[in-house]
Structure 1
Amino acid sequence: MLQLELIELCKANNRKAQMQLYRKYCDGMFCVAMRFLKNQDDAEDVLQESFIKAFQRLEQFSGQVTFGAWLKRIVVNGCIDFLKSKHQRTIELDEGYMHVSEDEDWQVETEVHLDEVKKSIESLPEKYKYVVQLFLIEGYDHAEISEILNISETASRTRLLRGKGMLKELLKELNYGTGS
Structure 2
Amino acid sequence: MFQVDIIEQCKQNNRKAQLQLYNQYCNAMYIVAKRFLKDAADAEDAVQEAFIKAFEKLHQFEAEVTFGAWLKRIVVNKCIDVLKSKKHQLVELNEVHLKVVDTAKNDKWLVEDTVTLNDVKAAIGKLPDKYQYVVMLYLIEGYDHQEISEILGISEVASRTQLSRGKTKLQTLLTPQKNGTRY
Counterpart position of 2:80: 80
| Alignment map for 1:90-129 (pairs within 5 Å) | 104-105=105-106, 106-129=109-132
| Contact 1:172-1:178 within 8 A present in 2 as well | no
User: Paired residue for 1:149, among 144, 147, 152?
Assistant: 152
Paired with 2:83 and 2:165, the residues of 1 have a C-alpha distance of: 21
| Alignment map for 1:148-167 (pairs within 5 Å) | 148-167=151-170
Moved more, 109-118 or 139-148: 109-118
Secondary structure of the residue that 1:51 maps to in structure 2?
Answer: helix
Identity of aligned residues (%): 62
TM-score for both structures, normalised by structure 1:
0.84
Q: How many residues get paired?
A: 164
The one-letter code sitting in structure 1 at the alignment partner of 2:127 is: L
Paired with 1:122 and 1:147, the residues of 2 have a C-alpha distance of: 23
TM-score for both structures, normalised by structure 2:
0.83
Moved more, 15-24 or 117-126: 117-126
The one-letter code sitting in structure 1 at the alignment partner of 2:147 is: E
The one-letter code sitting in structure 1 at the alignment partner of 2:150 is: E
Paired with 2:135 and 2:174, the residues of 1 have a C-alpha distance of: 14
- Shift, 1:110, TM fit: 2.6
Counterpart position of 2:96: none
Secondary structure of the residue that 2:175 maps to in structure 1?
Answer: helix
Secondary structure of the residue that 1:80 maps to in structure 2?
Answer: helix
1:152-178 deviations in whole A, cap 9, x for unaligned?
Answer: 11111111001001111111237x685
- Shift, 1:34, TM fit: 1.0
Q: Does 1:15 find its partner at 2:18?
A: no
Q: Does 1:26 find its partner at 2:26?
A: yes
- Shift, 1:120, TM fit: 1.9
| Contact 1:34-1:43 within 8 A present in 2 as well | yes
Q: For the aligned residues, what is the CA RMSD?
A: 1.9
- Shift, 1:107, TM fit: 2.5
Q: Which runs of 5 or more structure 1 residues have no equivalent in the other structure? A: 89-103
Secondary structure of the residue that 1:65 maps to in structure 2?
Answer: coil
Aligned in 2, Cα 1:109/1:3: closer, same or farther, shift over 3 Å? same
Counterpart position of 1:132: 135
